[in-house]
Structure formats: structure tokens, C-alpha cells
Amino acid sequence: MVPNRTCALCHTSKPILRRPKTGQQLCKPCFFYVFETEVHETIIGTNLFQQGEKVAIGASGGKDSTVLAHVLTVLNERYGYGLQLHLLSIDEGITGYRDDSLKSVKRNQQEYGLPLKILGYDELYGWTMDRVVEQIGRKNNCTFCGVFRRQALDRGAASLDADHIVTGHNADDTAETVLMNILRGDIARLGRCTAICTKGEDSIKRSKPFKYAYEKEIVMYAYFKKLDYFSTECLYAPDAYRGHARVFLKDLEAARPSAIIDIIHSGEAFQVAQDVELKPQQFCQRCGYMASNELCKACTLLESLEKGMGKLAVGDRNRRKLDDEPMPQGMRTIPMFQRSATTDSASPL
């Protein structure tokens, strides 16, 4: 593409990039301005935060969470959100991957001066992902990791007494999730996956300020700001099925860049029909975390690992086999989930 002479926004400086989202050729300061302003408008337009809220930033050390920590720090200061920001990292126990990425989180902590809490799977569940993979192999290990991480984040945030968890999920992730839920027929998730903020009963608010930010623009922002992040993919094989949807989405984006935003819009434009029955939410009888069955998914998976039957835990077909197996002596369980009430009375920004 032939570069324009001047930036499409300020019309004075020389452009150095083409925005993936709009195709506009911009200079560096204008790109920073639009990127940060769009995140700010997402936050303000959706009343995401409340003044004085304690917010835990889910920090993995990857590009998304690194940029999120940076941008939230900048916006909090610039617009006076009055947020108490904390970094919250989950150590899944993947040697050669998470230990390295946590080093980058620690460097960011020092740079932004934010308090950091690291909670490990080992500490919470008594299992590291290395050991999980040792038992179940690489197939379906993402299911264990995803379920464990979700609960670990909630528990980590509860221990910080945080009101809100923010994650670096970007527009590409949201669009991919819409597609995945359609392909899997997961109606319950399809109905809520485009919500910018989700909050179960008695659980901490969880939101995605980068919901409309393109992944490529996040990388651009990190690149031009020279942010320190860890870019290696997880060592354990990615979900092959999700990989299909991801490749498809990238192809769509190449053919028409607005496809990502268009898919998110589709997801926001429909809802689950009233006559479709969804499982009511309840609380896990063993650990008190929110669940759709008697036991939450994390307790079920942990039990299967403890019984040495981790391979049977994914899917409902083998549930009876798992239940019939007696509990081993001294089986580890997840501690009871306790958290103080959130401060809903605070005023919005």
C-alpha cells in the first residue's frame, strides 16, 4: 500500500502504520490516542467501573494483559477513575512457559508500581498442569486448565478483596468465542459471551475492556510503546477444534477487516429464545463456588485426577463411571469459597 503523505487524523505528521480496524493511515501519537480513547469510551459507555473500586487485572505476562495493565494505569491517572489496581497472576505450573511469563509480570509490577498477587494451581488444587498432563496426556488438557484458571482468578481476587476482575480478552477472542459457541451449540454461553461484564450471584464482576480492540492493534500498541511481554504459545497443544475457528476468523479478517466487529455485533444482536431451557445456577456442595450441577466443574475435574481417572472427566458420558469409583483416602479438595459482599453502592464513573 502506498503511504499517504500525512496522518488521516492530525493531517500533519507522517503516518507510520495502517490501522487494522479502520484501514486509516496514522502517525504514532494519533494511534496511541485512538487506541486509548476507544478503551476509555468502552469503559465509560458501559459504566464498567465504579469510583474507588478495587480492580484485579488478570496478568499472564502475555501481550493482552501487559497492554491492559499499561492502558488501565494510564487511563486511571488521566481520567481520574480512582481505581485501586492490582495485578493478579495465576501460576498453572507449566515449566518453561509460565515461570518465564511470570518474570515479565514481575518486571511490569515494578514498572507500574502495582501490587502483585500470584496464586498457583499447586497451592489451590494440589496439582500443577505439568502433573495433569502427565496423567491425562495433551488431549483435553485445555479443559482442565481453563476451568481451574477461572476459579483460581475468582479466588485470587477474593483474597485481594477485589470487586472486579479485568481480563485482556480482545475483539478477536470475543468473535472467536461467538463462532465456537455456534459451532458447539452451546446456547447458554452464546447468550452471554458478548457481554462486556459478567457477574454471577455471589461472584466477582469480570469484564473485558478490550472487547472492541483488535488483537493486531494490541500488538501494535505494545510494539510502539516498547512494552515488555512474553510471547511464547503455551507448551501444551492448543485446542485443535478452537484452532479451526481461529484460522477461519483470521481468514475472514483478511478478506474483510470489519468481520471481527461484525461477528461481535451479531452476537450482541441475538439472545437465547425464552422456550430454551437453561440449567439454573447453584452452588457447589463441596467448595461453595457457583456451579450448574451439585459439584462445580473444578471439583469434578479435581476428583477425577485424584481418582486417577482424569481422562474420563471431560464430557458427561463417563460421569457414572467416575461416580462409582470410591474416593481415595486423603483426597484433596478445593477450600470453601468465601468472599465478602461487593460494594454495589459505590457511584459509577
Instruction: Decide if residue 179 touches other proteins (CB under 8 A).
Output: yes
**Burial (0-12, 13-18, 19+ Cβ within 10 Å), 150:** middle
Q: Which is nearer to other proteins, 79 or 223 (CB)?
A: 79
Q: For residues 205 and 109, give the distance between their C-alpha atoms in angstroms, rounded to a whole number.
A: 23
Q: Which is nearer to other proteins, 58 or 310 (CB)?
A: 310
Residues 64-93 that bind other proteins (CB under 8 A): 78-80
Q: Which of 41, 111, 123, 294 binds other proteins (CB under 8 A)?
A: 41
Residues 257-296 that bind other proteins (CB under 8 A): 257-259, 261-263, 265-274, 276
Q: For residues 230 and 213, give the distance between their C-alpha atoms in angstroms, rounded to a whole number.
A: 19
Q: How far is the CB of 155 from other proteins (least distance, A)?
A: 30
Nearest to 40 by CA among 88, 73, 84, 7: 73
Q: Which range, of 21-29, 56-64, 102-110, 158-166, touches other proteins by CB under 8 A? A: 21-29
CA 217 vs CA 39, 214, 295, 332: distances in Å: 12, 5, 40, 43
Query: Was 173 annotated as part of a binding site?
Result: yes
Question: In sequence order, what DSSP letters do the residues of 91-148 get, joined into one string?
Answer: E---TTTHHHHHHHHHHHHHHHT--EEEEEHHHHHS--HHHHHHHH-STTHHHHHHHH
**β-strand pairing of 116-120 with 84-91:** parallel
Residues 197-226 that bind other proteins (CB under 8 A): 212
Site string for other proteins, 294-323 (x = CB under 8 A): --------------xx-------x--xx--
Q: How far is the CB of 113 from other proteins (least distance, A)?
A: 23
Helix axes of 28-45 and 215-224: crossing angle, nearest 10 degrees: 130
Residue 246 phi, psi dihedral angles, 5° rounding? -65, -45
Task: Kindly state the number of chain residues that form the binding site for other proteins, as judged by CB under 8 A.
Answer: 64
Say whether 157 sits in a helix, a strand or coil: helix
Annotated binding site for ATP: 58-60, 64, 90, 168, 173
- Interface residue list for other proteins (CB under 8 A): 9-10, 19, 21-24, 30, 33-34, 37-38, 40-41, 44-45, 78-80, 178-179, 181-185, 187, 190-191, 212, 241, 244, 248, 251-259, 261-263, 265-274, 276, 308-309, 317, 320-321, 324-325, 349
